[in-house]
Chains A and B, each alone.
Chain A
Amino acid sequence: MNILKNTMLISLKIVTLLILAVPVLSTAAEEGDVARGSKAWANNCSRCHNMRDPKEFRDDGWRPIIAHMRLRAGLSGQQARDILTFLQSSNYTAPASSGSMTKVAESSGEDGETIYNNTCIACHGADGQGALPGVPKFSERLSKPDDVLLSNITNGFQSKGSPMAMPPKGGNPNLSDADIMNVLSYIRENLGK
């Protein structure tokens, strides 16, 4: 147990040094980011429990929950803000009457791969095989025509057997029709096999 004691003492000293250093190293807090938030959400929340659907709570409800989870999961403040932003962007339901997006955003000008890596990769994985339990492989879904897939991406969609629905536009309200077309083309060409 002496080894343990020494290890703990050294760890305490390291943490103390970190505590002293952090105020110096700290930078101004950034706003939350949807793309970073989706990744942090996918990588952290299911370490302990099943993924909760963003639609379970309103924007104001998620705020104290994420503060609580920041402590529980050992997240940084930035990760917590990113996850909160992602959840608050993902908890609305697109109106059923809307065949298109609820908010028409301008094209980001990004190519399909960039959009995929920023918005889709957290749940669908780099290889399109699904990074979370219940997220289907793209090869099982791309037989559907473009208009159906575009509608699913735009309005959100829950696959059979998936514990939760994909949020509208993957939780990124800034995606435009053109962005969604670009990312669908990228998925068809690169991840559909």
Chain B
Amino acid sequence: MDDTESLKARIETLEKQLSEVKELLKKQVETTATKEEVKAVKKEVEVAKKEVEVTKSQQDEWKFYDSTVHLGGYAQVGYASDDPANDRFNQVQYSPIFHYQYKDLILLESEFEVEIEGDGETHLALEYLTIDWFMNDYMALSAGKFLSPIGQFRQNLHPGWINKLPSAPSGFGHDQAAPVADVGVQLRGGAPFGNNMQANYAVFVSNGPILELNEDGDEIEAIETEGFTSDDDDNKLFGGRIGFLPIPNVEIGISGAFGELGLPGDTGDRDYDVLGFDLFARWRNLDLRGEYVKQEVDGFAGSVAEEGQEWEAWYIQPSYKLLPTKLEAVARYSDFDSTHADQDQQQWALGLNYLFSANAIAKFAYEFNDGLTGTDTDEDRLFLQFAYGF
């Protein structure tokens, strides 16, 4: 009897174990892949790998390219209050700069100037447009309309987020003493040498400026230097600038140009010269900047406007960063002398800037102007300006 019970128990145990084995086998069959299945999985892995490679390549594509496009520029908005009182929000200006670059060989750069004028019209101008060929490490050839390399203010310092005051120095505005732009070809470059020294240069051949007569047509009123695609007198202007940096953060520049200019109806042309000096120096938080420029046209016997003319201007501008605050104090004295007394101006400008960042600046400034009594050049002015470079 005992043997029977024992046998029964063993059978039950064996049955249970058999059932477990069956269950295990079933699961194993479910989880074991066939050769075909393995092959299919391998194929899927290969496809996935390729997809990952493509995705990575797409993610990295912006790192490896021949051509690139970039939009930069600056904008400025402002408020002015003149003495005698004339308060207005006087400035809405936007200057987009487009860059198109092909490898390290070609760069197209252009800047528009879009500005709301007093009568509500929108002024649109092509500030510059050049196609630049980087010939080698020391020279680039630019052709088109370029900012004048005479001095520094017009070519490098006039954008609102760079200029530390809301206005240009006296004589450095449009149609004053400092040439603004020109159309032609220009060679630019630079090189370091010695122990921490550097030099840079620009030489150009261009159409040159145009002389503007007064209303009576018997006197030269102004000289227009905006850059023209016409050259009625057929004389080219030759000029350039050489900058020298004897130590870091000190730059001395000399610039000039010469040529001949004509007036319609004249039997010949008169000499034209421009000369410029510029200086920059920094010591700790203090920047010092100064510039001198003079344009001169000779007289010409028998001309509709026989007399020669001169336009001469200079400025000096110290500025000091009041660290650790975000404030910067700036002062500037500028002087503009013209053969026409109503254009002359001596100006003190004092300003306090708040730098939200390196390229976003709020400016508060006051100009003390001394010019011909009763003219715009004699009016003092208060300025508020916000400028943003991007």
Query: CB within 8 Å of B: which residues of A?
Result: 1, 4-5, 7-8, 11-12, 15, 18-19, 22-23, 26, 29, 40, 42-44, 46-53, 56, 58-61, 63-65, 67-68, 70-79, 81, 130-131, 133-134, 160-164
Report chain A residues within 8 Å CB of B97.
Answer: 68
Would you give the 0/1 interface string for B216-229, flagging 1 where the beta carbon is closer than 8 Å to chain A? 00000000000000
| Interface: B190 (CB within 8 A) | yes
Name the contact of B324 in the complex, choosing from A1, A64, A71, A161 (C-beta under 8 A): A161
* A interface SS class: helix
Residue on A with the closest CB to B108?
A64
* Residue from B137, B138, B188, B256 whose CB has the most chain A CB atoms within 10 Å: B137
* Residue from A18, A23, A51, A56 whose CB has the most chain B CB atoms within 10 Å: A18
Report chain B residues within 8 Å CB of A50.
Answer: 355, 358-359
Report chain A residues within 8 Å CB of B156.
Answer: 48, 72-73
Contact assessment for B202 and A133 in the assembled complex, using a CB-CB cutoff below 8 Å: no
Residue on A with the closest CB to B253?
A74
Give 16 A-B pairs besides A4-B256, A40-B192, A67-B104 with Cβ atoms closer than 8 angstroms: A43-B245, A46-B249, A48-B156, A52-B359, A53-B358, A64-B99, A67-B107, A72-B155, A73-B156, A74-B198, A74-B202, A77-B104, A77-B137, A77-B138, A162-B323, A162-B324
Q: How far is the CA of A40 from the CA of B324 in the complex (A)?
A: 25
* Residue from B187, B257, B358, B359 whose CB has the most chain A CB atoms within 10 Å: B358
Name the contact of B192 in the complex, choosing from A5, A60, A79, A163 (C-beta under 8 A): A79
Q: How far is the CA of A120 from the CA of B228 in the complex (A)?
A: 47
Report chain A residues within 8 Å CB of B385.
Answer: none
Contact assessment for B325 and A161 in the assembled complex, using a CB-CB cutoff below 8 Å: yes
Report chain A residues within 8 Å CB of B202.
Answer: 74
Report chain B residues within 8 Å CB of A61.
Answer: 70
Would you give the 0/1 interface string for B350-390, flagging 1 where the beta carbon is closer than 8 Å to chain A? 00000101110000000000000000000000000000010
Q: A15-B240, A74-B189, A161-B323 are in contact. Are A22 and B136 (CB under 8 A)?
A: yes
Q: A8-B258, A74-B243 are in contact. Are A64 and B70 (CB under 8 A)?
A: yes
Contact assessment for A74 and B240 in the assembled complex, using a CB-CB cutoff below 8 Å: no
Report chain A residues within 8 Å CB of B200.
Answer: 73-75
Q: How far is the CA of A77 from the CA of B136 in the complex (A)?
A: 7
Instruction: Please list the 8 inter-chain residue pairs (A to B) with the smallest Cβ-Cβ separation, ordered nearest first.
Output: A161-B324, A74-B200, A77-B137, A74-B190, A50-B358, A64-B99, A43-B248, A64-B70
Report chain B residues within 8 Å CB of A22.
Answer: 136, 138-139
